């Protein structure tokens, strides 16, 4: 006489089999991804971050193709017949007091302003990375020496330090980039030093020492890649600040010089004609606002993606 299995047992067995064969959920996939992929997924799920990245990519693309749309001669040549024309189909952004097309100058000015911002960040990030790594990793008198040097620089307001460097070297966009980049080194140094002090106590650093890795290899191969997240976020946000400071110094006449179409220099020129030709300061000003806003959105998105615990 054969026995039959209880119905409940069959149901339980079927449920267990179904659980075993059920396809993995999205949550399981997220857990299985690497930290970089999980951060990228969080970033692209943030609509504001994606919007900022899209706008930033469009700005970069437009500035790259600017020479194909307007030649350099078109944006610097003077034309008495087209002075101070309001926005129209022929000149969407109007013309300036010398008859130059404002749209072409704004597009070319983006090349100048973005390049200045990127180089400022690279100078500050490069110097701060080296000093911060050495200071945090070496410790002792080396750390004290570097930090006292940083304290001296931090005691001087960044804009004042930049003005001092520009005053010593003379006005010009290159001088402004160098001045603002040097003024940013202390901030990057402090940030990287703090991250290195925390990272060098981890087990993988001790394992690298046991295996005989050199100090340079430990710093650049093991520590730096693991502290790059906060640095990337700060550098992204610093890009927007660098663009504003560079434009501000150009607005004061210390940065880009005529006939450069840099956005700050265009603002400086447009303020004299604000009452009669509103389009001269408005469009370069809007370009600065949109560029900085998009960069800040990307920076905030990166911060939320890398450190989701900081979300409010």
Q: What is the DSSP string of 270-307?
A: HGGGTTT-THHHHHHHHHHHHHHHHHHHHHHHHHHHH-
Report, as an integer, the average pLDDT of 203-222. 84
In terms of pLDDT, which residue wins out, 15 or 217?
Answer: 217
Percent of the chain with pLDDT over 90: 45
* Band of residue 18 on the pLDDT scale cut at 50, 70, 90: very low
Instruction: Give the pLDDT confidence score for residue 287 in this predicted structure.
Output: 95
Percent residues over pLDDT 70 in the chain: 88
What pLDDT does 1 receive?
A: 44
Q: In the prediction, which pLDDT does 258 show?
A: 84
Q: How confident is the model at residue 299 (pLDDT cuts 50, 70, 90)?
A: very high
- Judge whether 165 and 179 are in contact, CB under 8 Å: yes
Residues 254 and 308: their CA atoms lie apart, in Å, by 41
Q: Per-residue pLDDT averaged across 300-312, rounded?
A: 75
Identify the CA nearest to 108 among candidates 73, 58, 67: 67
Banded pLDDT at 128 (limits 50, 70, 90): very high
Q: What is the mean pLDDT of the chain?
A: 84
What is the Cα–Cα distance from 58 to 54, expressed in whole angstroms? 6
Q: How far apart, in whole angstroms, are the C-alpha atoms of residue 187 and residue 204?
A: 27
Tell me what the mean pLDDT of segment 238-243 comes to: 92
pLDDT at 64: 92
Instruction: Please report which residue ranges of the chain form alpha helices under DSSP H.
Output: 7-21, 26-32, 35-44, 47-69, 72-76, 102-138, 140-154, 158-169, 173-199, 203-210, 215-217, 228-251, 263-270, 279-306
Output phi, psi for 101, to 5 deg: -70, 125
pLDDT (0 to 100) of residue 310: 54
Predicted local distance difference test score (pLDDT) of residue 160: 82
- Confidence check: pLDDT of 93 > 70: yes
> What's the average model confidence in pLDDT over 204-228?
84
Would you call 213 exposed, middle or buried from its count of C-beta atoms within 10 A (0-12, 13-18, 19+)? middle
Q: What is the distance between the alpha carbons of residues 246 and 265, in angstroms, rounded to a whole number? A: 10
pLDDT at position 207: 87
pLDDT grade for 80, boundaries at 50, 70 and 90 = confident
Q: What's the pLDDT score for residue 33? A: 58
Residue pair 288/263 in contact by the 8 Å Cβ criterion: yes
Measured CA to CA, the distance from residue 180 to residue 221 in angstroms comes to 29
Least confident span in 15-24, 64-73, 88-97: 15-24
Q: For residues 307 and 291, which has the higher predicted lDDT (pLDDT)?
A: 291
pLDDT band at 256 (very low <50, low <70, confident <90, very high): confident
Residues 265 and 255 sit within 8 Å (Cβ to Cβ): yes
pLDDT higher at 49 or 166? 49
CA angle in degrees (0–180, nearest 5) for 274-278-284: 95
Predicted confidence at residue 32, as pLDDT, reads 44
Taking residues 113-117, what's their average pLDDT? 92
């Amino acid at each position: 006489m054969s026995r039959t299995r209880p119905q409940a047992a069959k149901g339980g067995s079927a449920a267990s089999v179904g659980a075993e064969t059920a396809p993995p959920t999205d949550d399981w996939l997220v857990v299985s991804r690497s930290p970089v992929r999980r951060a990228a997924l969080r970033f692209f799920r943030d609509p504001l971050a994606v919007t900022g990245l899209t706008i930033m990519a469009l700005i970069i693309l437009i500035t790259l193709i600017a020479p194909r749309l307007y030649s350099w001669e078109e944006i610097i040549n003077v034309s008495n017949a087209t002075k101070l024309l309001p926005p129209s189909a022929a000149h969407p952004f109007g013309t300036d007091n010398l008859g130059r097309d404002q749209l072409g100058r704004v597009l070319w000015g983006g090349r100048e302003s973005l390049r200045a911002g990127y180089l400022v960040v690279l100078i500050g990030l490069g110097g701060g990375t080296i000093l911060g790594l050495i200071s945090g990793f070496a410790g002792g008198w080396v750390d004290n020496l570097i930090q006292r040097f940083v304290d001296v620089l931090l005691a001087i307001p960044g804009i004042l330090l930049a003005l001092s460097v520009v005053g010593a070297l003379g006005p010009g966009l290159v001088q402004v980039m160098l001045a603002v980049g040097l003024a940013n080194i202390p901030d990057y140094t402090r940030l990287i030093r703090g991250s290195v002090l925390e990272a060098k106590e981890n087990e993988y650093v001790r394992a690298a020492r046991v295996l005989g890795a050199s100090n340079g290899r430990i710093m650049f191969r093991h520590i730096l890649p693991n502290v790059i997240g906060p640095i990337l976020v700060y550098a992204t946000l610093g890009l927007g600040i660098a663009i504003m400071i560079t434009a501000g110094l150009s607005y004061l006449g210390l940065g880009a010089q005529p006939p450069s179409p840099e956005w700050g220099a265009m603002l400086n020129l447009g303020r004299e004609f604000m009452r009669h030709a509103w389009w001269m300061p408005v469009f370069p000003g809007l370009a600065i606002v949109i560029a900085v806003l998009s960069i800040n959105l990307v920076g905030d998105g990166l911060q939320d993606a890398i450190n989701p615990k900081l979300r409010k």
